[in-house]
Amino acid sequence: MTIAPELLHRILEGALLAAEQPLSEEKLLSLLHKEEQPSKATLRDALEDIAQSCAGRGFELKRVASGWRFQVPEDLAPWVNLLWEEKAQKYSRATLETLAIIAYRQPVTRSDIEEIRGVAVSSQIVKSLSERGWIKVVGQRDVPGKPSLYATTREFLDYFNLCSLDELPTLAEIRDIETLTQLLNQDSPPAGDDEGDSAEPDKAACEGRVRAEERISDGPEASPEEASSEAGANGAPVVTPPEAVLVDTTDAVPTEAAVSTNPEAGDGSGQ
């Protein structure tokens, strides 16, 4: 006998509030006994009903790459963020450029990124993005030296409230890295503080950055099928509106502008 709709709603709400990460529909179904499980369509309708019931409230139910989660709406972030003294991490121009190139041209090697940017890519930038869980190695290119291929991850997609690469804005919508910085509410670092970006002549660096966007535009847009099967629809560039602040039901002290019910945004890497 299928579970009653009212009880299904309550179970879904309780599970999503208690979860430490977004929950997939398969995971939500697994919480019910086999004879009680509704169809996936019925489950989706129940989740949509809950999402609609949150309209105009201080929290919302949002679907991201890893599943569904409760979070604080973006427009309330300026106030909710005041609960924590620690400021959100700021990312340098070099980091944003590198991240955007990986997202739109993945999978790519460091040499691909350097060719587009016109300057050498610091190992620290790649390391910091990897440690943040936003990019990962998905293979090696079959050329001498076997350079690593990088792609964005599902955790990165979750962080920016996206479900797939199809939701990425077009390059026509985002024309320069300064716009990306503004959308992220991040301040560019002072000159010379580019997260260890390899030193190059100022003129070359400027010309390289001017060419970066043009070269991204010239190349074909990456599709979920073109990124490796592990990467899948697994990454989002820094081109979305400021991320939402998620409902914090734990005692963990958040370290990012987004404050999630989960200490870390998912563990997947692709759809």
Q: Residue 213 pLDDT > 70, yes or no?
A: no
For residue 189, give Cα distances in angstroms to 49, 91, 92, 117, 124.
44, 8, 6, 18, 15
H or E segment and range at residue 68? strand 67-71
**pLDDT tens-place string over residues 38-85:** 999 999 999 999 999 999 999 999 999 999 999 999 899 889 988 887
**Angstrom distance (rounded) from CA 263 to CA 248:** 9
Sign of the Cα torsion 19, 41, 236, 112 reads positive
Task: Give pLDDT, residue 197.
Answer: 52
For residue 111, give Cα distances in angstroms to 141, 193, 234, 263.
11, 22, 22, 34
Name which residue leads in pLDDT, 26 or 242.
26
Paired residues of 71 in beta bridges: 60
CB neighbour list of residue 23: distance below 8 Å, 6 or more residues apart: 15, 16, 67, 68, 69
> What global pTM score does this model have?
0.56
Interior angle at CA 63, CA 61 and CA 67, nearest 5: 115
Interior angle at CA 162, CA 160 and CA 166, nearest 5: 130
**pLDDT tens-place string over residues 137-166:** 999 999 999 999 999 999 999 988 888 888
